[in-house]
Amino acid sequence: MSQVFHEIEKKIIASLRDNPKQTPESLEKSTHLSPDQIRRGIEWLKLKDLAIVTESQSSVISLGKNGIESFQKGLPERRLLDLLKSGPKKLSDLQKELGFVFGPSIGLARKNNWIEASSDQISIKNFPSELPGEKTLKLIGNEKLSKDKLDPNDLSGLLKRPDFIIEDIIKSKEVSLSDSAKSIELSDTAGEIDVEAKVPEVFVARTHPLKDTINEIREIFVTLGFSEIFGNMTQSSFWNFDALFTPQDHPARELQDTFYLDKINAKKIGTPDQIRKVSESHKKNWRYQWDINEARKMVLRTHTTCVTIKHLAENKPDEARIFSLGRVFRNEKVSYKHLVEFNQIEGVVVGKDASLRNLMGIQREFYKRIGITKIKFWPTFFPYTEPSLQTMVYNEKLGKWIELFGMGIFRPEVTKPLGITKPVLAWGGGIERIAMLKYDLDDVREFYNNNLGWLRSATKCQ
């Protein structure tokens, strides 16, 4: 097999053939390549199973401060013995001559029976020609030496003495060629590169995958002739519930389903006329005592419909196509299919000719544009629309129909009190559900984990 090698690889292989086991440092010297080139070259060869890298540890010995002094002037006990060579000396004189090393040197010489003392005179008893440690000290000198090149017995005494020996643990790599590399023919063709070799991965910066779906849906609504409106995520219960004909004791309004803001109430919730007419509609149809304080409670919107109905109540258009897109909140346990905060799209058509079949028609067109063609409509129930339908779309992967958007025509109990006279077609649903289909996810939490592994690798959906 003929392979193409980079110039770096060739040099490393050639050098390893001459000298089969080398450290990266010795390869630098033999090939005249930079440390970085050597590192890269070894990585490439490793990936191709041509190089074997074994990592090992070794101890390197050098002299510390006292060790260097002893190397230059002799060991303290050597200095003592040298002073006594010419005959016995007084203790006080020795102390003056030896200074700091006087104590240790006397101690050692006594312990080893090299000297003897009579009254205050110190004299030599035995005179060893080479003291323990002297051989090692000379051997090391100003160098750094691998520990296994030294006599361990001779070294051990020095290791116990303060600041004599510095021991460093050095991790080293040893590179050798694998068997397959030994038989490789290195072509001489210069300038060729291995176009099949693996390359490092580059991560693109990009919009968030969920944002891509949000933008796509926004775009579809605009091309279907809808204009976008904005609204707050924090809303009074009045616009989130009361204006949408949800009675004040409705289970959906309870703490376990809706996020209420702690100790925060809205002062102004609507015009006096709006408040009066909405409350009358509740009292008449739901038969209970409507309480304005309940309507003042601030919630995190549970749907974007509150934004739409407020817009319609303020503008009372005869004809309109508008949509609202944004985050909504439900007080649910977070799971693979539920988030406390997710995105919703909601569109309405106002017009005297607006009909349920039109509403179904717009849905069909919308789904077609996001690539879903197998749909059907089933009746369902929403508190604020009548008639109400839901779209079911067929999921090929799951092999079943799943619920997507809800839709309906706003009830007169909703529109009349707010002075909206024309029929309002409304529909909406969660965007994450569509995005999950697009990105083939089965855990909705993935969208908000900001896991770089996924963000960097998820394929952009078309």
Partner 1 sequence: MPVVELSYTRLQKLVGKVSKKQISDSLPFLGLDIESENKDLVRIEYSPNRPDYSTDFGIALGLQGLLGIKTGMVKLNVKKSNKYPISVKSDVSKIRPFVTGIVAKNGKIDDKTIKQLMTMQEDLHFGIGRKRKKSSIGIHDLDKISFPLVYTTTNRNHKFIPLASEQEISISGILENTDVGKDYGSLLGQSSQVPIIFDENQNPVSFPPIINAAVTTVTTKTKNLFVEVTGINKEDAEDMLAVVATILQTAGFSLESVKISGAKNSTPKLEQKKISVSSSLINQILGLNLNTAKIISSLKKSRLDASSKGSNIICTIPPYRFDIFGPMDLVEEVALGYGIQNLEPTLSPSQTVGKTNPISLQLKSLDQTMIGLGFLEALNSSLTSKRVLYDMTNRDSSKIISVLDSKSQEHTILRDSILPGLLENLSRNIHESYPQKMFETGTVFTLDSPISEKINFSGISAHKDANFTEIKSIIQSALKIGFGIQIETKTAANPTFEEGHCASITLNNVPIGTIGKINSKIVENYKIRVPVVGFEISLSESILKNQN
- What is the Cβ-side half-sphere exposure of residue 307, based on CA atoms within 13 angstroms? 25
Q: What are phi and psi of 144, to 5 degrees?
A: -115, 130
- Which residue, 147 or 330, is less far from partner 1 as judged by CB? 330
DSSP string, 146-164: EGGGS-HHHHHHHHHSTTT
- Minimum CB–partner distance for residue 342 and partner 1 (Å): 9
- Minimum CB–partner distance for residue 359 and partner 1 (Å): 8
- What is the Cβ-side half-sphere exposure of residue 426, based on CA atoms within 13 angstroms? 27
- Which residue, 207 or 271, is less far from partner 1 as judged by CB? 207
- Sheet containing 121-124: give its strands across: 89-90, 121-124, 115-118
- Which residue, 135 or 445, is less far from partner 1 as judged by CB? 445
- Minimum CB–partner distance for residue 277 and partner 1 (Å): 16
- Minimum CB–partner distance for residue 250 and partner 1 (Å): 8
Report the 10 Å Cβ neighbour count for 401: 15
- Which residue, 80 or 306, is less far from partner 1 as judged by CB? 306
- Which residue, 305 or 388, is less far from partner 1 as judged by CB? 388
In our burial notation (b when 16+ CB lie closer than 10 A, e otherwise), range 319-341 reads ebbbbbbbebbbeeeeeeeebee
How far is Cα 237 from Cα 266, in angstroms, rounded to an integer? 9
Report the 10 Å Cβ neighbour count for 300: 20
CA 297 → CA 9, 241, 243, 268, 460, distances in Å? 72, 11, 14, 11, 42
User: In this structure, what token pair is assigned to residue 85?
Assistant: 């060579």
Element (H, E) at 209: helix 209-223
- Which residue, 337 or 456, is less far from partner 1 as judged by CB? 456
- Minimum CB–partner distance for residue 18 and partner 1 (Å): 36
User: In this structure, what token pair is assigned to residue 252?
Assistant: 């959906």
Q: Is residue 458 a contact partner of residue 438, using CB atoms and an 8 Å limit?
A: no
Least Cα distance to 240 among 269, 220, 210 occurs for 269
- Which residue, 15 or 363, is less far from partner 1 as judged by CB? 363
- CA 446, 449, 455, 461 dihedral sign is positive
- Minimum CB–partner distance for residue 312 and partner 1 (Å): 15
- Which residue, 13 or 313, is less far from partner 1 as judged by CB? 313
- Minimum CB–partner distance for residue 171 and partner 1 (Å): 20
CA 50 → CA 31, 45, 179, 180, distances in Å? 18, 5, 8, 6
- Which residue, 82 or 254, is less far from partner 1 as judged by CB? 254
With tokens 């905060």, the residue in question is 341
- Minimum CB–partner distance for residue 197 and partner 1 (Å): 20
- Minimum CB–partner distance for residue 446 and partner 1 (Å): 11
- Which residue, 160 or 333, is less far from partner 1 as judged by CB? 333
Question: E-strand spans in 50-183?
Answer: 51-63, 89-90, 115-118, 121-124, 145-146, 165-177
- Minimum CB–partner distance for residue 186 and partner 1 (Å): 33
- Minimum CB–partner distance for residue 142 and partner 1 (Å): 35
- Which residue, 13 or 389, is less far from partner 1 as judged by CB? 389
Q: Is residue 46 a contact partner of residue 180, using CB atoms and an 8 Å limit?
A: no
